[in-house]
Amino acid sequence: MLKSSIHLLGFLAILAFHGGWTAPQNNAQAETLSKTNLCGVPPKFEAIGSSFFYFEHDLKQNWTAAAETCRQMGGHLAVIRDEQQFNAIYWQLQHNKWYWLGIKKGGQEDQFVSVTSGTPAPFLKWGWGHPNPFAHDWDCVQVITTVMINARCTNRANFICQWSNEI
């Protein structure tokens, strides 16, 4: 961490010398800069393909609290785009743990949507018996190992945050 901070400071000094960067004018600006890297990616997020993810393996929260935690970190609950991204994320999951995603039931009873875009979820890989048609209050989506399930949003689970400039 110290080495990367020194490199960052050196880079910023070069930019300032050439007129390409102005030092933060107050503590709020300095704090914001310290929480992101040069690409704007919040700390703790790791690259998987063209997106960045944070996997919360220890803290369990209900869906709403998990979404707020991701927002406070500079991201949103993850929305998996396709099978390739799903397979890459799979290797980061701890087995036998459930993780919240940024997908909820939409206006239609059987439609699940990305909460970041409001459009139908781009990729769903339902486990056997899911989505459960008899569980009318199971509105949020979790991933466990190789499948997705619908569950009560009030359940407590781990979660996956995502940061990207695409939703």
| Region 44-54 average pLDDT | 94
What pTM did the predictor assign?
0.76
pLDDT band at 8 (very low <50, low <70, confident <90, very high): very low
Q: What is the DSSP string of the chain?
A: -HHHHHHHHHHHHHHHHTTS----SSHHHHHHHHTS-TT-PPTT-EEETTEEEEEEEEEEE-HHHHHHHHHHTT-EE----SHHHHHHHHTTSPTT--EEEEEEE-SSTT-EEETTT-SBPS---BPTT-S-TT-TT--EEEEETTEEEEE-TTS-EEEEEEE-S--
Give the residue extent of every domain in the chain. Answer: 1-34, 38-163
pLDDT greater at residue 116 or residue 12: 116
Average the pLDDT over 61-85 and give the result.
Answer: 97
Considering the domain 38-163, what is its CATH architecture?
A: Roll (3.10)
Average per-residue pLDDT for the chain: 81
The pLDDT assigned to 136 comes to 81
